[in-house]
Amino acid sequence: MTDLLNVKDLSVFYGARAQAVEKVSFNVSPREVVALLGANGAGKTSTMKALVGLVKASGDIIFDGQPISGLSTRERVARGIVYVPEGREIVGSLTVRENLVLGGYQLSGALRKSRMETALELFPEIANKVDRAAWQLSGGEQQMLAIGRGLMAGPKLLLLDEPSLGLAPLLVKRVFDRLATIRTESDLSIVLVEQNLQMTMRLADRIYFLRSGRIVGQKHKQELQTEAARQQVIDAYLGAGQHLVA
Ligand SMILES: Nc1ncnc2c1ncn2[C@@H]1O[C@H](COP(=O)(O)OP(=O)(O)OP(=O)(O)O)[C@@H](O)[C@H]1O
């Protein structure tokens, strides 16, 4: 199958010496969920930002059959790559509805309306709060709004940066349940950045393990079905058992 995304030798530097990502190569098939898993500072966010053109990077990125390394962030979004950043960067002073509109500002009125309906169906928790300022939402609801806003653009590839960050376990589960629905009901691909192996395994088809800016291993979901296999990858790639949070 032709890849939707093919990344070859991607490197990210911050300044002349600080290399955050070193020659990372990976691919994502249509409808596939691929996770980048690694501890703090492993280079996950930098990789995501490089894909959408938010940091300077070297290497080749082929998306939907075309090289995109030379394109601006705006052009990459227009091609169908949408980034939902870590920390749920929604606009707190705007309402839920206004935040969603921002995600689909380029759309015609009718398409925007139907996408908004789809997003709110997916996240009923925010559907009855559309006129409320976004800062008033709970952390989990803000995460849902951030994902809903990303979906407004109608992405082919959704880049999700630590959707579990700062959420209580019950909310993490709820957010991941919705992501599972998105993946069943739409034909988009997802690159998921996470530190939470347990949740990642519920969603991802394949997992790449990052350490110190490099990919140090790769596993297919089927290879991680037993507790022993999961413990082995934790020991080999992730270090402390802190990642096995439910
Ligand atoms: N703007 C920046 N300027 C300089 N160094 C940076 C910058 N952003 C990240 N780094 C460094 O690059 C490396 C990779 O950071 P990155 O945020 O990509 O890791 P991460 O795996 O996403 O970590 P986390 O899980 O903590 O978000 C780290 O050593 C980090 O300190």
Ligand 1 atom closest to Cα of 46? 18
pTM reported for the whole predicted model: 0.90
Residues with CB under 6 A from ligand 1: 14, 18, 20, 38, 40-46, 195
Dump pLDDT digits (tens) for 147-165.
999 999 889 999 999 888 8
Dump pLDDT digits (tens) for 87-125.
677 888 899 999 999 888 888 888 889 889 988 988 888
Dump pLDDT digits (tens) for 160-209.
998 888 778 888 888 888 888 888 888 899 999 988 788 888 889 999 99
Report whether 129 contacts 100 (CB < 8 A). Answer: no
Euclidean distance between CA atoms 103 and 120, whole angstroms: 13
Ligand 1 atom closest to Cα of 193? 22
In sequence order, the 6+-apart residues with CB closer than 8 A to the CB of 42 are 210, 211, 212, 213
What's the whole-number mean pLDDT along residues 127-132?
93
Euclidean distance between CA atoms 54 and 56, whole angstroms: 7
- Residue 194 CA to ligand 1 center (angstroms) comes to 14
| CA-closest candidate to residue 63, choices 13, 29, 32 | 29
What interface predicted TM-score (ipTM) does this complex get? 0.94
Taking CA atoms only, the protein residue closest to ligand 1 atom 16 is 43
- For the chain, which domains are there? 5-243 (3.40.50.300)
